Amino acid sequence: MNDFLSSYLISLEKTGGLFDIDGTLPALMLQFAIFVQVLRVLLFQPLQKILQQREDEIENNFKNGRISLDDVEELQKKIKKLLESIRRITSLRVERLQRRLQSLSFQSKVSLESQRVDFYEENLKNYNPISDVAYNLGVRTLQRLESYLKQRLI
């Protein structure tokens, strides 16, 4: 019975398989075409739309970045000009302060010299009477010593 059943099943089986010229190959082709169209509508078109939006966004950002880069370069030029003017102004101020410092230094030297001369003259005035007193004291001491020695020797 097994032989009969297996031979019957074999007789029912179609020969040729996938490459048989019957309705299976066109049906598979039709199914594949429908599947591709469904994928195109549901998957590829939204993906292409998203990719196009992203590309447009990147292009806009690039253009804005280029504009910003131009703005940055312009600001850098302005900053350089400003720094140059500040450096010029500060160098002029430094030169002016150095001249003033030299002037004040000269004035202080002149003032110190005049104070030194005044101090010297004042001390000289005070020294002359003291030196006169000391001289007179020395002369009187010598005179007394001379008179004492004369009295002792004579």
Q: What range does the domain containing 77 cover?
A: 37-153
pLDDT of residue 113: 84
- pLDDT per residue as tens digits for the range 97-133: 899 889 888 888 888 888 888 887 887 676 666 667 7
Instruction: For residue 11, tell me if it sits in a domain.
Output: no
* CA neighbor of 56 nearest in space, from 67, 44, 48: 48
In a domain, 121, yes or no: yes
Residue 131 counted as domain residue: yes
Q: Is 113 inside any structural domain?
A: yes
For residue 137, name the pLDDT band (cuts at 50, 70, 90): confident
* Mean pLDDT of the region 4-19: 62
What is the number of domains present in the chain? 1
Residue position matching structure tokens 């591709």 = 36
pTM: 0.37
- Is residue 20 within 8 A of residue 14, CB to CB? The reply is yes
How far is residue 104's CA from residue 102's CA, in Å, rounded to a whole number?
5
Q: Tell me, yes or no, whether 1 lies in a domain.
A: no
Q: What is the pLDDT of residue 130?
A: 67
* DSSP state at residue 42: I
In a domain, 126, yes or no: yes
- Residues above pLDDT 90, as percent of the chain: 23
Let me know if residue 71 belongs to a domain: yes
What are the two backbone dihedrals, phi and then psi, of residue 15, each rounded to the nearest 5 degrees?
-100, 155
Instruction: Let me know if residue 78 belongs to a domain.
Output: yes
